[in-house]
Amino acid sequence: MNTIDQLQALTGGNRALTRRLLEEVLRSCTDDGQQLLAIAHDDHPRMVDIAHKIHGAARIVQARAVYQACEALEASTAQDDLEPLREALHLALTQLQAELGHTLAELDP
């Protein structure tokens, strides 16, 4: 199931609700992405915390690429190079945002 189908399942197909949820997901992509980038590159605990927070939301909306990137970051150790993992998560968030942005634009006036 892709994200928009999942959102529709959550809202019981109600258009106005789907729109509202979609907007919330888009807003969160921006907020989460900014918070993610604001963390110091060697702050492993905070990196894992935010990955965990985003993970839960990504599961609920079935954003697979996002939650897989979260899983990778959550499974990292303090010794790992966190930068590629952070970049992968940020990219997944940006892609989800782009994808859902199109969906929102097509949703109706």
Q: Which stretch binds another protein (CB under 8 A): 22-30, 35-43, 89-97, 101-109?
A: 22-30
Q: Is 107 in the site for another protein (CB under 8 A)?
A: no
- Kindly report each contact of residues 47-56 with a partner whose C-beta sits within 8 Å and lies 24 or more positions away, as own/partner: 47/73, 47/76, 47/82, 47/85, 47/86, 48/73, 48/74, 48/76, 51/89, 54/89, 54/93
Of residues 2, 5, 15, 24, which one binds another protein by CB under 8 A? Answer: 24
Q: Is 10 in the site for another protein (CB under 8 A)?
A: yes
Q: Give the length of the chain.
A: 109
Nearer to another protein, 1 or 105 (CB): 1
Of residues 37, 41, 42, 75, which one binds another protein by CB under 8 A? Answer: 75
On the CB side of 97, CA atoms within 13 Å amount to 15
Residues 6+ apart with CB under 8 A from 40: 46
Output the smallest distance, CB 39 to another protein, in A. 14
Q: Is 19 in the site for another protein (CB under 8 A)?
A: no
Positions touching another protein (CB under 8 A) are 10-12, 17, 20-21, 24-25, 27-28, 49, 52-57, 59-61, 75, 77-79
